[in-house]
Amino acid sequence: MLKQISVNDTVINYSDVGNGVPFIFVHGAAASCNHVMYLQDDLRSYARVISYSQRFHLPNDPSDKGVFGPDQHAKDLIALMEALQIEKAVLFGHSYGGLVATTAAILSPKVVIRLFLAEPTLPLLVNENPEYASIVEVRKETFNGIKRTFLSGNPANAVKQLLDYAIGGKGFNTLPEEIRRDMIANAAALYQLVFNQVQTEISSPENIAKLKMPVTILLGEKCTPMYTAVSLELKKLIPAASIHHFRDVAHDLIYNAAEDCAQVVINECKGA
């Protein structure tokens, strides 16, 4: 059962189940609060699992006012914690949600117990590095193609293009059916990301390097090279960060390796 709460002049839909340490799931592009479903069952006996839909993402108003970008979304996340009277929480960000969670940790480090980043999308760490020129060019071409598909009037195919790039291989079709439906329904949020996204001014390499809370990076064994590159650069900035690899998955790890992901979260939080 979803609940609603007002934060920063917008209405946020969220779920809140379980007991224990607050664990907040931050979803990726073309996603929603529903994407916690595969992690939730394993985590709810250990943690209070909160998952919310970010501004512009269903079932929130996709035509909402405000800015689509990690800085706005991070401020919304911090405001959500305040509204729910959560003093400290574990943040788990998937894909674009990894950038949002990282930005929130920079903005309010005292409220973040631990940061889990599942294949985080932080292209700012690789865009200017000649070593990754070919990877950056592939990403650029992919997003140009997504823009063309949107302009041709086919938002469902635009979502599929994004996931085919992010997952590789069979791409979109490797996702559970309910997740595919949810992502297609959230095409308007992806449109905002590719056409109107405001880049972060907060999550600079210098600010990321200042993070003091424990950071864990989760990578699929078959992940797209962009996520490997970002993770390696994150590790350079945060040497104490740990990286966990999951077999036979890529960007779909939170769905198709959910039990293993949840176990890493539980083990690392208990060992902290």
List, for residues 171-206, the tens digit of each pLDDT value. 899 999 999 999 999 999 999 999 999 999 999 999
Q: Is the full-model pTM beyond 0.95?
A: yes
Q: Which domain holds residue 63?
A: 3-271
Pair 100, 189: CB distance under 8 Å: no
For residue 120, give the nearest of 100, 144, 150, 146 by alpha carbon. 100
Pair 121, 145: CB distance under 8 Å: no
270 pLDDT more than 90: no
Radius of gyration (Cα) for the chain, nearest Å? 17
Q: Quote the pLDDT of residue 65.
A: 87
DSSP-derived pairing of the beta strands 21-26 and 47-52: parallel
Q: Quote the pLDDT of residue 52.
A: 98
Burial tier of 35 (Cβ tally within 10 Å: 0-12, 13-18, 19+) = buried
Q: Quote the pLDDT of residue 44.
A: 93
Number of structural domains found in the chain: 1
In the chain, DSSP assigns E strands to: 3-7, 10-17, 21-26, 47-52, 89-94, 112-118, 215-220, 242-246
| Run of H or E residues at 105 | helix 96-107
Q: Which two three-digit tokens encode residue 134?
A: 């070919």
At 168, is the pLDDT very low, low, confident or very high (cuts 50, 70, 90)? confident
At 247, is the pLDDT very low, low, confident or very high (cuts 50, 70, 90)? very high
Q: Quote the pLDDT of residue 272.
A: 55
- Residue 81, φ and ψ in degrees, nearest 5: -60, -45
Q: What is the CATH number of the domain that holds 224?
A: 3.40.50.1820
At 12, is the pLDDT very low, low, confident or very high (cuts 50, 70, 90)? very high
Q: Quote the pLDDT of residue 271.
A: 72
The three-state secondary structure class of 15 is strand
Task: Calculate what percentage of the chain has a pLDDT beyond 70.
Answer: 100
Report pLDDT digits (tens) over 125-166.
999 999 999 999 999 999 999 999 999 999 999 999 999 999
Q: Quote the pLDDT of residue 265.
A: 97
Average pLDDT over residues 55-69: 94
The terminus-to-terminus CA distance of the chain in angstroms comes to 31
